[in-house]
């Protein structure tokens, strides 16, 4: 049996996340519908979010600030401050939203740990929020380490996997985002197990070259053990 270093993304890989953003965006649009030209509100919010990414990074706090900025910019001076209060409340709700693991995740992780694989969460987002989600998910004890990073680059994967003594091709990154989880892990010489979520945040859309030899596409998290076996690592 070959034990591997498994890097595992969190949002939309371990638990639902993008659905909560989409649901919040719908509520934001309904909230502003009475106070602003509601045309293209979602597009304007996304544009604001992208503009602020350089300063705010990923996560709910920056997203809430971008919702407020969008509201201020599309509404006239008559926007009641109670609407701002309601946007703040949307942000709080997101931060306190129950963490719902995706099907098969808990049992699969427990099995992988039992077989001696080293499991490392590698995720972007707000530090405290991601730590609290991991704690609330009940999955925290299954991981050997948690790495919350501001950006997922080949250098970041090389540094994290290197700390566990992984040479080229020794580690497998598992995640839903081709752009953040798969392409940079492949570029660092490791494996990428891609498990798409049914929704993808626009900023995370990317193509994976079909011929990448260390790329595997899975449908569900519980296919990970068989995929590891197929590449001789289980």
Interface residue list for a second copy (CB under 8 A) = 55-59, 61-62, 64-65, 68-69, 71-73, 75-77, 79-82, 84-85, 88, 91-92, 95-96, 126-129, 131, 148-150
In the complex with a second copy, the residue whose CB is nearer, 28 or 215, is 28
As a whole number of Å, the end-to-end CA separation of the chain is: 5
Virtual CA dihedral for 195, 196, 200, 204, nearest 10 degrees? Answer: 50
In the complex with a second copy, the residue whose CB is nearer, 21 or 56, is 56
Q: In what helix (H) or strand (E) does residue 6 lie, and over which residues does it extend?
A: strand 5-8
Strand partners, 118: 5
Closest approach of a second copy to the CB of residue 74, in Å: 10
In the complex with a second copy, the residue whose CB is nearer, 2 or 150, is 150
Contact 173, 181 (CB under 8 A): yes
In the complex with a second copy, the residue whose CB is nearer, 65 or 106, is 65
Closest approach of a second copy to the CB of residue 224, in Å: 27
Question: Please, what's the b/e burial string for 168-194 (b: 16 or more CB within 10 A of its CB; e: otherwise)?
Answer: eebbbbbbbbbbbbbbbbbebbbbbbb
Closest approach of a second copy to the CB of residue 153, in Å: 12
Closest approach of a second copy to the CB of residue 57, in Å: 3
Closest approach of a second copy to the CB of residue 139, in Å: 18
In the complex with a second copy, the residue whose CB is nearer, 57 or 169, is 57
Among 28, 23, 27, which Cα is nearest to 45's? 28
């Amino acid at each position: 049996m070959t034990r591997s270093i498994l890097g595992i993304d969190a949002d939309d890989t371990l638990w639902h996340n993008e659905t909560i953003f989409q649901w919040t965006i719908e509520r934001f649009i309904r909230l502003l519908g009475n106070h602003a030209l509601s045309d293209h509100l979602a597009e304007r919010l996304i544009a604001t979010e992208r503009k602020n990414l350089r300063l705010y990074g990923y996560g709910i706090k920056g997203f809430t600030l971008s919702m407020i900025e969008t509201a201020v910019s599309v509404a006239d001076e008559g926007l009641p401050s109670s609407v701002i209060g309601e946007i703040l409340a949307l942000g709080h709700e997101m931060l306190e939203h129950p963490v719902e693991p995706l099907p098969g995740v808990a049992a699969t992780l427990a099995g992988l740990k039992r077989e001696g694989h080293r499991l490392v969460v590698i995720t972007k987002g707000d530090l405290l929020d991601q730590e609290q989600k991991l704690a609330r998910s009940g999955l925290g004890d299954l991981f050997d380490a948690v790495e919350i990073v501001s950006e997922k680059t080949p250098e970041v994967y090389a540094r994290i996997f290197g700390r566990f003594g992984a040479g080229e091709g020794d580690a497998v990154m598992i995640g839903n985002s081709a752009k953040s989880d798969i392409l940079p892990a492949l570029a660092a010489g490791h494996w990428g197990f891609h498990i798409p979520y049914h929704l993808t945040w626009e900023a995370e859309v990317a193509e994976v070259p079909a011929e990448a030899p260390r790329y595997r596409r899975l449908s569900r998290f519980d296919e990970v053990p068989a995929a590891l076996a197929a590449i001789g690592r289980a």
